[in-house]
Amino acid sequence: MRVARSVALDDVKIEDIEDPVPGDDEVVCDVLACGVCASDVTDWYVERKLPAVLGHEPAGIVTAVGDGVPDVSEGDRVVIHHHSPCGECRRCRRGHETLCERFRSTQLDPGGFAERLRVPADLVSELLPLPDGLEPAAATMVEPLACILRSQDRAGLRPGDGLLVVGAGVNGLLQIAAAHARAVEAVWIREPRADRLALAEGLGAERHGNELVDVAVVCTPKADAIADAAAAVAPGGTLCLYAPPAPDGPPL
């Protein structure tokens, strides 16, 4: 099968490698679509993983099922999760599942930017069946949207709140749509690019002036954007840094 392997920054090679084979309790899927995450194109994040087959937002179809796998059959269309928490450690019990030691040690083989991938045993129970009518490309939004919903939960965003979203890339737009779905009173947007601003306004966000908000979510690592957002948080409000700043970036 072919894979897209990142060998250096801005250098992706198409390679032929052996097809994956499922072991006991494992599954192999054909990849139907895979999202490109902002992290996949962030140099400092990619550099420490190289060489690697990136892609952690795949949707696929099950093509082989190992012994001992219940409830999964060849032909199932699924969203494939790339990490799974243990659910039992102190971090998991306190709601920090993404910081669980096991979370980062679990991994798809070789990654989403491949024609086929092996889903290890720990991740098989995380497969989500795709409903009929949901296209694989749309299904790649499941992982980013899950991250958005989690951030809004952790920021304590409630019905009736005012939310400021800073940055109207994919994540900012998902923040806006998800916030409306939980009946916030208003969503404000700060975004320098006119085309992105128009998309945000199309989703019902209003251009931010100097309104104070209950929650501000910053979907860009830029220090000045973070400072602007912090200044807009009302007393008792919450600032959520959704895009991790570069490790060698300016101090917050």
Residue numbers at the binding site for Zn ion (CB under 5 A): 37, 39, 85-86, 89, 92, 100
To Zn ion, the closest distance from the beta carbon of 40 in angstroms equals 7
Spatial separation of the C-alpha atoms in residues 203 and 177, rounded to whole Å: 6
- Tell me whether residue 4 or residue 37 sits nearer to Zn ion (CB atom): 37
To Zn ion, the closest distance from the beta carbon of 152 in angstroms equals 17
Structure tokens at 169: 């890339």
- Tell me whether residue 37 or residue 130 sits nearer to Zn ion (CB atom): 37
- Tell me whether residue 126 or residue 228 sits nearer to Zn ion (CB atom): 126
- Tell me whether residue 57 or residue 161 sits nearer to Zn ion (CB atom): 57
Spatial separation of the C-alpha atoms in residues 52 and 103, rounded to whole Å: 18
Spatial separation of the C-alpha atoms in residues 208 and 47, rounded to whole Å: 35
To Zn ion, the closest distance from the beta carbon of 37 in angstroms equals 3
Q: Are 40 and 128 in contact (CB under 8 A)?
A: no
Q: What is the amino acid identity at position 71?
A: D
Nearest-CA neighbor of 130 among 72, 195, 184, 214?
Answer: 72
To Zn ion, the closest distance from the beta carbon of 236 in angstroms equals 31
